[in-house]
């Protein structure tokens, strides 16, 4: 299989996508846990596979967070919860990565996974899946 950009999906990417398909709705796991579970790669290579996920939303990459339990990245953007302040008289502009972070948070909220106001997983025991 090739991605829309023409790149071949690697065996590592297939392993990541197959594992993520097992994460139930209402649960999240970490980039590190995925590479440990599939026995290959690193959190960065898992993140790269997710950034290039041609099967989203079928492969629910929004259910993967950082090992620190921070919301992490989504659609190729690493989340930050901040606003870019503009000079006086100009409207406040959202950071593009904040927008992606908010999209990920909203998807997870709909599944019952809650995060603190600064982007960290609230219910560590009930929401974390391994």
CATH code: domain of residue 104: 1.10.10.10
Q: Confirm whether 50 is domain-assigned.
A: yes
Q: What is the pLDDT of residue 56?
A: 86
pLDDT(81) > 80:
no
Q: Confirm whether 96 is domain-assigned.
A: yes
Contact 85, 112 (CB under 8 A): no
Q: Confirm whether 110 is domain-assigned.
A: yes
Q: What is the pLDDT of residue 87?
A: 56
Q: Confirm whether 52 is domain-assigned.
A: yes
Q: What is the pLDDT of residue 5?
A: 76
Contact 92, 99 (CB under 8 A): no
Determine the number of helices (DSSP H) and then strands (DSSP E) in the chain: 5, 6
Q: Confirm whether 41 is domain-assigned.
A: yes
Q: Confirm whether 2 is domain-assigned.
A: no
Q: Confirm whether 33 is domain-assigned.
A: yes
Q: Indicate the average pLDDT of the chain.
A: 83
The domain in which residue 104 lies consists of 11-123
Q: Which residues are catalytic?
A: 61
Number of domains in the chain: 1
- The percentage of residues in the chain with a pLDDT greater than 70, rounded to a whole number, is 78
pLDDT(8) > 70:
yes
Sign of the C-alpha dihedral computed for residues 9, 54, 110 and 77 taken in this order: positive
The pLDDT tens digits for 97-124 are 456 778 888 999 999 999 998 889 999 8
Q: Confirm whether 129 is domain-assigned.
A: no
Peptide bond into 57 cis (omega under 30): yes
pLDDT(77) > 90:
no
pLDDT(72) > 60:
yes
Q: What is the pLDDT of residue 97?
A: 46
Q: Which tops the pLDDT comparison, 100 or 11? A: 11
């Amino acid at each position: 299989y090739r991605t829309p950009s023409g790149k071949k999906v690697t065996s590592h990417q297939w392993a990541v996508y197959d594992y993520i398909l097992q994460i139930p709705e209402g649960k999240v796991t970490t980039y590190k846990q995925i590479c440990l579970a599939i026995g290959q790669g690193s959190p960065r290579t898992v993140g790269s596979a997710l950034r290039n996920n041609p099967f989203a939303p079928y492969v629910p990459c929004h259910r993967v967070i950082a090992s620190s339990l921070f919301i992490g990245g989504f659609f190729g953007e690493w989340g930050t919860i901040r606003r870019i302040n503009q000079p006086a008289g100009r409207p406040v502009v959202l950071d593009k990565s904040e927008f992606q972070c908010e999209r990920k948070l909203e998807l997870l909220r709909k599944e019952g996974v809650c995060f603190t106001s600064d982007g960290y997983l609230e219910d560590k025991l009930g929401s974390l899946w391994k």
